[in-house]
Structures are given as structure tokens and as C-alpha cells.
């Protein structure tokens, strides 16, 4: 009879022991984010729904993303949204870019470790850039935060899984090391207790004023991301990294920039919006202060693989044009300015960069994707505006600014 008595005593004691202490919210988020940063292989799927509102308009969009990565430069990235669908695949030796709606694909030798910096050529590839950044945006979640809080635990359903027990971490504007001037932002993150992975995120941004910014009505933004599949450091099926071209698909040398006209505002030929830029040392300058000189605005983010992939070609172009009078200005969209500063240092980028902390600069140019290139001529008019632009197209536009810039035109392209 000893065993039953001991068992009953143990059960009785277990009922009197208080609940284990809850983890520190920021430490938990940092631990989980680091798991993503350290993952050598992963399979992540996400459904992103974003709503943008102001008192006169409402915009909703949904993006479906997949990222499967294994060592040996094997990967599969898929992105599907209203802009289109793209699939990037590599088996380690060959890689393929495929546009299912256009039924065209590109095949070439695998690019190696820089595949994540893949350059986009058409607007339909925009959701692909989000797939490329899927893990990095989670891995940097805790950066830029000085605190966070735990909300009551919740049991939620994710896709077809019910009963997922979660820690719920929340942070808002006051928890950031750097505050935005005109926006209030907050995030709520659901972390699966059993697997220590993020299964849901809700991000909110709210303008602090209803007054127009650079001529545009401020808007609130709410993004809900569900992660139905999260597998870190697990073996993935070899079939994920193979591509068999459909019978009706056509092999092309490269995607044509005219294949899919980008749905961007008709800003070319119109005066550029003026705005103020504040540097890290507190110095403030306005875009109009450069009047009389052409200006190139490079909108980017540290997590944007295609943006990073363009850096070597942009630096070469910078070296050819800066001495001729072209002013270069970087504008990053990072939540954490430190992340952008780190990239500037690592990549040895020479032109000045500014943080679009309240989103007003992006709003002034209707930014709806990255990278975005905007070229402004010496009269202050927009001469080039393109999301997912190519450096070749940018060169062609710069070459038309004046005879001193003619030599930067791509080979075989007239500057007239």
C-alpha cells in the first residue's frame, strides 16, 4: 500500500504548489526570435492580411507566402497576392524563377549564398520579396525594443489546428528605443508554448493626428499574420526543391520589365512632394533644399533581400554620378533604425540615409513596395518612379538628365 499513499500525497502536494512563474516577455520574445535567426533550415508558411484606413478610403490586401530552406543553397520561396504570383526554386545546382500566371520561367546556375538578395524585374515578383524576408522579419522582432509585457495566455486555433496554447506578448510605442514622431504602433504576438514558435502576429499603426502629411491624409494600418506551418531545423523533402516546367510554360532568358506594367501612381513629370529629412545627429534638411541638382531617392529596408542585392550595382552607379552632381538619398522603412545603420556599415554604403520613422516620406511617394527608386530632376520634377526597378532602367533615366550623365547609359542604350 506504500505506492498508492505516496502517489496520493504527490497529487495533493501538486495541487498546492503555485503556478510556475511566467517568463519575462522581452526575454521570451528575444529567445524565440533568436531561434529563427539561428535556424539552418526551415519551412514557414504565412497568410498576411493588411487593412489601411482613413476617413475617406479603405484598402484590404491578402498575401500568401511560403519559404522552405535547407543547407546547400536549396530553397523554395512562393508569394501570391493581388500583384501576382511568383515561385523561386533552387536544388543547389540550378535555380528557377517562375511566373505561373504568365507561364514563363528563367533557369540558370544557382547563385550561391546571395540568393536571398534576388533582384526583382517585374511587379508580379513583389510578393516574392516578402517570402524572401519571411524569416528575417521575425528574427529581428525583438531588436529595437527596451521592454514588452505578457497578456493572459490564450488557446487559439491556427488553420486546421485547434487548442494551440500560447503565450501572448504585447508591446507598443513606449516600448521602443526610438519613437516615431507621428505614429503610434503596437504589436501582439502569440507564441506556441509547446514548440516556442510564433503562430500569429497583429501589428497596428495609428496616426497621432488627422492633419494631412505632405498633402496626404494619414491612415491607420492593421496587419494580421497567421503562420499555419512553422518548422525550424527540420529535414525538408527533396521534392520541395525540384522544378518541372509545365508543358505550356515557356523558358525565357529574363523577365521583361514590360511584361507586366506596374500599377504605380502617375507621378512622372509632376513636381516631387517636399518633405524634411532628419539625420542621426539631429540635422534637418528639406528635399527642396537640393533644388537645382538632380536627386535620387532609394527607398529600402534592411530585411528586403532585393534591396540588398542591388547594393553593389548602385554603389558603382553612385561612384559614376555623385561627382557629376547627382544627390543620393537613402530612405529606409525599418522599425528599428539600428538595423538599417548596421547594413549601411556592413555594405560600406557612402550616401546619406534617413529613417522614415512616421512613414510620411513613403506616403508622399505612394510607396507600396520595396525597393522603390525615385529620380527627381534639377527642376524638382519626378523623372523616374518605379517599384522593383532595375539599375539598368535607372541608368537610362539618369543618362537623360544632361550631357554630363550621358556616359552612365547602359551599353547599347541611347541617352536621348
Q: What is the CATH number of the domain that holds 392?
A: 3.40.30.10
Helix or strand run (H / E) with residue 232: strand 220-232
Is residue 260 in some structural domain?
no
Region 255-260: mean pLDDT is: 57
**Picking from 108-122, 134-148, 399-413, which range would have the lowest pLDDT averaged per residue?**
108-122
Q: What are phi and psi of 114, to 5 degrees?
A: -90, 10
Residue 136 scores a pLDDT above 80: yes
Evaluate if residue 11 carries a pLDDT over 80. Answer: no
Whole-angstrom Cα distance, residue 382 to residue 364?
12
Q: Are residues 80 and 184 in the same domain?
A: yes
Between 127 and 183, the higher pLDDT residue: 127
Percent of the chain with pLDDT over 90: 55
Sheet holding 104-109, edge to edge: 149-158, 161-172, 183-192, 197-207, 220-232, 42-54, 57-70, 74-81, 84-91, 94-99, 104-109, 250-251
Residue range(s) defining the domain that contains residue 377: 276-408
Q: Say which range, 70-79, 115-124, 148-157, 243-252, has the weakest mean pLDDT.
A: 115-124
In the predicted model, what is the mean pLDDT of residues 201-229? Answer: 84
Tell me whether residue 13 is in a domain: no
Range of lowest pLDDT (130-134, 260-264, 277-281):
260-264
C-alpha cell at 71: 543547407
Domain final residue, candidates 188, 222, 241 = 241
The count of structural domains within the chain is 2
Q: Is the same domain home to 199 and 135?
A: yes
Claim to verify: residue 140 and residue 231 sit in the same structural domain: yes
Q: Is residue 358 part of a domain?
A: yes
Select from 241, 263, 289 the last residue of a domain.
Answer: 241
pLDDT band at 176 (very low <50, low <70, confident <90, very high): confident
Q: What is the pLDDT of residue 13?
A: 40
Binned at pLDDT 50, 70 and 90, residue 263 comes out as very low
Residue 80 lies in a domain: yes
Mean pLDDT across 314-340: 91
Same domain? 32 vs 167: yes
Q: Are 96 and 206 in a shared domain?
A: yes
Q: What angle do CA 76, 368, 273 make, to 5 degrees?
A: 150
Q: What pTM does this model have?
A: 0.77
Residues 248/241, Cβ–Cβ less than 8 Å: no
Q: pLDDT-derived band of residue 129, with 50, 70 and 90 as boundaries?
A: confident
pLDDT digits (tens, 9 = 90+) for 178-190: 776 667 889 999 9
Per-residue pLDDT band at 5 (split at 50, 70, 90): very low
Residues 320 and 209 placed together within one structural domain of the fold: no
Asked if residue 265 belongs to a domain, the reply is: no
Choose one of 222, 241, 260: the last residue of a domain: 241
The CATH number for 186's domain is 2.50.20
Say if residue 293 is in the same domain as residue 236: no
* 416 lies in some domain: no
Who wins on pLDDT, 324 or 13? 324
Q: Check whether residue 232 and residue 308 sit in a common domain.
A: no
Amino acid at each position: 500500500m506504500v505506492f498508492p499513499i505516496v502517489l496520493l500525497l504527490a497529487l495533493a502536494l501538486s495541487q498546492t504548489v503555485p503556478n510556475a512563474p511566467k517568463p519575462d516577455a522581452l526575454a521570451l520574445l528575444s529567445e524565440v526570435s533568436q531561434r529563427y535567426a539561428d535556424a539552418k533550415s526551415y519551412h514557414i508558411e504565412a497568410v498576411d492580411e493588411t487593412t489601411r484606413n482613413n476617413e475617406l478610403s479603405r484598402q484590404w490586401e491578402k498575401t500568401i507566402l511560403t519559404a522552405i530552406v535547407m543547407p546547400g543553397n536549396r530553397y523554395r520561396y512562393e508569394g501570391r497576392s493581388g500583384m501576382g504570383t511568383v515561385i523561386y526554386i533552387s536544388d543547389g545546382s540550378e535555380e528557377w524563377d517562375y511566373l505561373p500566371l504568365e507561364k514563363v520561367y528563367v533557369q540558370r546556375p544557382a547563385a550561391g549564398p546571395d540568393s536571398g538578395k534576388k533582384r526583382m524585374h517585374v511587379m508580379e515578383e513583389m510578393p516574392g520579396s516578402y517570402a524572401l524576408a519571411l524569416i528575417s522579419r521575425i528574427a529581428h522582432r525583438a531588436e529595437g525594443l527596451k521592454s514588452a509585457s505578457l497578456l493572459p495566455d490564450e488557446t487559439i486555433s491556427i488553420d486546421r489546428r485547434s487548442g494551440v496554447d500560447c503565450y501572448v506578448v504585447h508591446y507598443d510605442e513606449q516600448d521602443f528605443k526610438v519613437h516615431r514622431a507621428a505614429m503610434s504602433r503596437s504589436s501582439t504576438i502569440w507564441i506556441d508554448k509547446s514548440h516556442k514558435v510564433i503562430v500569429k502576429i497583429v501589428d497596428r499603426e495609428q496616426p497621432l493626428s488627422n492633419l494631412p502629411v505632405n498633402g496626404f491624409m494619414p491612415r491607420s494600418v492593421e496587419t494580421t499574420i497567421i503562420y499555419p506551418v512553422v518548422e525550424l531545423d527540420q529535414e525538408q523533402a527533396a521534392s520541395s526543391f525540384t522544378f518541372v516546367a509545365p508543358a505550356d510554360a515557356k523558358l525565357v532568358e529574363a523577365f521583361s520589365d514590360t511584361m507586366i506594367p506596374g500599377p504605380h501612381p502617375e507621378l512622372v513629370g509632376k513636381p516631387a512632394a517636399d518633405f524634411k529629412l532628419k539625420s542621426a545627429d539631429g540635422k534637418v534638411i528639406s528635399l527642396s533644399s537640393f533644388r537645382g541638382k538632380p536627386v535620387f531617392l532609394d527607398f529600402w529596408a534592411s530585411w528586403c533581400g532585393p534591396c540588398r542585392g542591388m547594393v553593389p550595382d548602385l554603389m558603382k552607379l553612385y561612384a559614376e554620378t555623385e561627382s557629376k552632381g547627382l544627390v543620393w538619398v537613402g530612405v529606409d522603412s525599418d522599425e528599428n533604425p539600428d538595423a538599417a545603420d548596421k547594413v549601411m556599415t556592413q555594405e560600406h554604403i557612402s550616401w546619406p540615409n534617413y529613417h522614415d520613422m512616421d512613414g510620411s516620406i513613403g506616403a508622399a511617394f505612394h510607396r507600396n513596395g520595396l525597393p522603390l527608386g525615385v529620380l527627381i530632376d534639377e527642376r524638382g520634377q519626378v523623372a523616374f518612379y518605379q517599384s522593383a526597378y532595375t539599375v539598368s532602367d535607372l541608368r537610362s533615366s539618369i543618362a537623360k538628365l544632361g550631357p554630363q550623365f550621358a556616359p552612365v547609359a547602359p551599353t547599347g542604350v541611347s541617352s536621348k
